[in-house]
């Protein structure tokens, strides 16, 4: 099965600090559990501050869809990525970090993107500051069109660029008849609002969102209101990926709502399933938990598992990822951790 991803390719720089309070007092707009966008000048000031006030944990490749696609490649799927990295050392590092993923259609252009991650020791939560690099991706490129015509799953996450939603909408228009478009807008797209991302949502058969993101996109509407009003998935295929058990039980489109310590739910117009969060002994970094959840659910769906089993595997993989910093959880994936 061919899986393609599109989203940011970031150099993640991960710090740990006792409390977020000194960062707020210094005037930086970081909040635990939230995501913001900084320009390069603001990022340099923040890095200078963190280098003197926090502990550097490490650097790794990052980006929501990139993490999910790397995990799916580790699980044995044939994966491609569409995006942009800079013509710099960071760009080389980022493409090399996409282990097992075909990055031949990733554009090298300008400066690479960065994501500064600050882990709050007291609350076991993290704040993200995305620093956009340069961007160049043509959805009408013949090689991209050929790939997407044969892709079974197209997984999309946010790009911190004005033209990002328009470009990604163009990608959804090139997919084959039964392709599943899965979309995790994240806080960056959620803050842009429904109108800006409606073109992607229209073709989305599986929408991933946190409680905050869902409320922001749909302006406080309930899950059932959103589904009944077809505010996403209006032109998604009814049976993406063919006759799989998941979409027999959960009529497309499906919402996968992530609620952290409260667990997660799947909701469609004919079914709702909830799974509690799995208890973990300690949390190293929760940055990749949502991406791990996405990978776990997509993998289980593609393997023909039913909705309840797929949701349990997604929640379990999210919990597993909490014990590692950055993308290290992907390196430790095996059959036991995937299907536990």
Q: CA 274, CA 304: separation in Å to the nearest integer?
A: 19
Q: CA 176, CA 181: separation in Å to the nearest integer?
A: 10
Q: pLDDT per residue over 31-68, tens digit each?
A: 888 889 999 999 999 999 999 999 999 899 999 999 99
Q: Is it the case that residue 338 has pLDDT exceeding 80?
A: no
Q: CA 105, CA 161: separation in Å to the nearest integer?
A: 19
Whether 38 contacts 133, CB under 8 Å: no
CATH top class, domain 2-7+61-111+134-339: alpha beta
Q: pLDDT per residue over 204-218, tens digit each?
A: 999 999 999 999 999
Q: Does the model's pTM come out above 0.85? A: yes
Region label for 116, one of left (φ > 0), alpha (ψ between -120 and 50) or beta (otherwise): beta
So where are the chain's domains?
A: 2-7+61-111+134-339
Please give the pLDDT value at position 336: 67
Q: CA 207, CA 233: separation in Å to the nearest integer?
A: 9
Q: pLDDT per residue over 112-166, tens digit each?
A: 999 999 998 887 788 999 999 999 999 999 999 999 999 999 999 999 999 999 9
Q: pLDDT per residue over 263-298, tens digit each?
A: 999 999 999 999 999 988 888 878 889 999 999 999
Residue 39: Cβ-neighbour burial (10 angstroms; 0-12, 13-18, 19+): exposed
292 closest CA partner among 331, 236, 245:
331
């Amino acid at each position: 099965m061919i899986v393609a991803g599109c989203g940011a390719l970031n150099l993640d720089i991960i710090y740990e600090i006792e409390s977020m309070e000194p960062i707020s007092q210094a005037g930086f707009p970081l909040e635990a559990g939230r995501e913001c966008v900084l320009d390069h000048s603001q990022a340099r000031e923040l890095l200078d501050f963190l280098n003197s006030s926090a502990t550097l944990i490490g650097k790794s490749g990052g980006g929501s869809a990139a993490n999910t696609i790397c995990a799916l490649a580790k699980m044995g799927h044939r994966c491609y990525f569409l995006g942009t990295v800079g013509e710099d050392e960071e760009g080389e590092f980022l493409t090399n970090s996409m282990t097992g993923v075909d990055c031949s259609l990733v554009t090298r252009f300008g400066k690479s993107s960065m994501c500064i991650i600050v882990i709050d020791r007291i609350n076991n939560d993290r704040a993200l500051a995305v620093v956009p690099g340069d961007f160049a991706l043509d959805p009408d490129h013949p090689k991209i069109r050929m790939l997407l015509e044969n892709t079974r799953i197209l997984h999309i996450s946010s790009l911190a660029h004005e033209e990002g939603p328009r470009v990604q909408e163009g990608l959804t228009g090139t997919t084959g008849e039964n392709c599943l478009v899965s979309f995790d807008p994240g806080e960056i797209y959620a803050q842009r609002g429904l109108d800006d991302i409606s073109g992607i949502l229209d073709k989305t058969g599986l929408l991933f969102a946190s409680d905050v993101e869902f409320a922001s996109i749909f302006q406080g509407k309930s899950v059932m209101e959103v589904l009944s009003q077809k505010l996403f998935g209006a032109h998604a295929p009814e049976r993406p990926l063919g006759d799989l058990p998941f979409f027999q039980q959960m009529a497309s489109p499906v919402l996968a709502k992530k609620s952290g310590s409260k667990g997660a739910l799947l909701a469609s117009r004919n079914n709702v399933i909830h799974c509690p969060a799995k208890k973990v002994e300690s949390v190293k970094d929760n940055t990749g938990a949502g991406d791990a959840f996405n990978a776990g659910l997509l993998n289980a769906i593609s393997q023909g598992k039913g909705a309840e089993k797929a949701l349990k595997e997604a929640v379990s993989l999210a919990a597993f990822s909490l014990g590692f910093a950055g993308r290290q959880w992907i390196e430790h994936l095996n059959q036991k951790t995937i299907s536990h």
